[in-house]
A and B are shown apart, each in its own frame.
Chain A
Amino acid sequence: MNSTDCSKQINGGRRCLSVINAHIQRHTGALSSVRQALWLTKSSLIHGLPSHITSPAAVPENQLLNQDERVQNAIKHARFWDTTEPRPKKEKYSNTLLHNLLHLCATLQPTHPAIGRRILAENYSLAASWKRGDDLFQVRGQNGLLHCSMDPLPRVCGETEVLETSDQILESFYPVSPTIDLQQVNVYKEEINCSGFREGYPYPHAHTLYFLETPDSNSKLRPEQFRAKMIMFTFGNALARAHKLYGTQSVLEHPITVQAVGTNGRIFQFLVFQLNTTDLSEDDGIKNQVWLEEDVELYDFAKVRPLIKRKEVKVRIPL
């Protein structure tokens, strides 16, 4: 036993396929997308968010005072007012918009005390690794904004639906291997799982992740790849938590739920991930579940200059 461990160390570590800060390459068409992320995380996809998340939005007591006007003010602030130049840059306005909307939601705290038990964290390093078949996979990186809370999120799906997922078959990508387009790195410490925070942190449970588009023009992600990145990092957070609580290779009795929101400043993608099992080595069995709502537009456009066609003002600027 000891000799084999030593030999692994001496050989320079194992090769591992990794999603380091979701370094997914462009150029790939049908590859490297949501389908691949679903295979890697052994999950099944459901379009549309679960009803118990969307239904409270219609109830008036969950809404803000002058909600429409305040949201429009938030959009205007982000898109028009927050700069000395004619128009703010995309990474700046998407960041401002996200923080404004988060602030608006936080003003509901008097009626919803649970909001007070959450805190925002930025630039934390996530590390999660798992085995899938013969290969070792890992998710690493600093992905951005995280809402962490003192209490875990309640599960979305009941036991019966979770058992039903074991009948679903994962998609096959033949002849392409599902590990295409992932970076190969050497790892020297296997089974690293770190949720980004130390023991004793008062807000240990990951609640919602917020993804913005990276300002790096070289690694611009297409919408499919952006959603895949969201899935991988949400999964990484849930897995790190599960490994800490329950260890590896087991079906979870209390599934771990993590949410995610991704935006490019105008279009939003919403994601809810329920981790049902950490037993990811085989392709069959209970799957994890992903609810994905794609391409929700907050507003159609925010024009800085009025659009004039044939001497008629078609779109006025809303100042």
Chain B
Amino acid sequence: MALKCLTRTLRSLTLSQPALLSSQAAAQPKLGAQVPSAISLYRGFLTTASLEQNRTLWKNMDKYTIKPMGMKKTGGRDHTGKIRTRGIGGGHKQKYRWVDFQRLRYEPSKEGRPFEEKVVEVRYDPCRSADIALVAGGNRKRWIIATENMQAGDIIKTSAVIGRMAVSANEGDAYPLGALPVGTLVNNLEIQPGKGSEYIRAAGTSGVLLRKVNGTAIVQLPSKQQVQVLETCIVTVGRVSNIDHNKRIIGKAGRNRWLGIRPSSGLWKRKGGWAGRKIKPLPPMKSYINLPSISAN
């Protein structure tokens, strides 16, 4: 960022050089002569190393791989180097396992058909609260978020077909919302079809499919907020794994430090209007479908 600013200013200085010369007196015959003007217009050379930060460049891999990748911690600092989020830093080193959140990803040659995959192993992931499962199907393997009772050797199904009758779904299978019966517990919800799941991924969480209304479906998220999404969005059935995650006891300050949580300020501060229990009505239902606008003109 700083390097880009530097190059931009240098470029602007050199571009403005002819203008400066013409505005000054015409004593200088040659344009390319060294002008000892007020602004020193020399092209400096770089004395520092590359100022680009490798903060997120470790994530730039185009080919999917199941091998764990080394991760760079940010410590709560943003691109300027200052702390943006307090209380983050340190902690055990973690390797990132690339989880495929788009459950309905077809293999290159087998588009369009429902497919099955076999769970090879279910393991702990240091980067999230849920467990992840290595599934293999056809010619590829990938990591997905494991559901509650997933074990090695299970076979899970992924399908995009919405039939007239609701499917009796097994836990761990992935179906579009339109194919599931009302009242199923779901997780890994995607709000736009094909985008990949962004909601209900934490340990032990699950959403509930409330109703299906002509082409859309309404799901209740774990925060009791309701969302309306298209019925072709894929969800997986069941609760996310590691359901006792919220019942764990940290036990000591050191364990929090291992998790990368730095201590908060010990100073007593007067709490404001944000503190205390609030009892409010639920926010209105959020709708993620782009309905054609019913405008008069």
Contact = CB atoms under 8 A, between A and B. Distances in A.
Among B67, B115, B118, B155, max chain A CB count under 10 A is at B118
A179 B139 contact: yes
B67 A27 contact: yes
A132 to B, nearest CB: 14
A175 B117 contact: yes
B139 to A, nearest CB: 5
Nearest to A26: B67
A175 B113 CA distance: 14
B120 A30 contact: yes
Contacts of B136: 31, 175-176, 180
Contact of B137 (A28, A175, A179): A175
A29 interface: yes
Contacts of B138: 175-177, 180
Interface residues of A, number: 11
Contacts of A180: 136, 138-141
Interface residues of B, number: 17
Contacts of B125: none
Contacts of B121: 29
Contacts of A29: 120-121, 134, 152
B100 interface: no
A177 B140 CA distance: 9
Interface string B138-179: 111100000000001001000000000000000000000000
Given A175-B115, A175-B118, A176-B118, A27 B140 contact: no
B140 A31 contact: no
Contacts of B139: 177, 179-180
A31 B155 contact: no
A28 to B, nearest CB: 7
Given A175-B117, A179-B139, 15 more contacts: A27-B66, A28-B120, A28-B141, A29-B121, A30-B120, A31-B136, A31-B141, A175-B118, A175-B136, A175-B137, A175-B155, A176-B138, A177-B137, A177-B138, A180-B139
Interface of A: 27-31, 174-177, 179-180
29 contacts: A27-B66, A27-B67, A29-B120, A29-B121, A29-B134, A29-B152, A30-B120, A31-B120, A31-B136, A31-B141, A174-B116, A175-B115, A175-B118, A175-B136, A175-B137, A175-B138, A175-B155, A176-B118, A176-B136, A176-B137, A176-B138, A177-B137, A177-B138, A177-B139, A180-B136, A180-B138, A180-B139, A180-B140, A180-B141
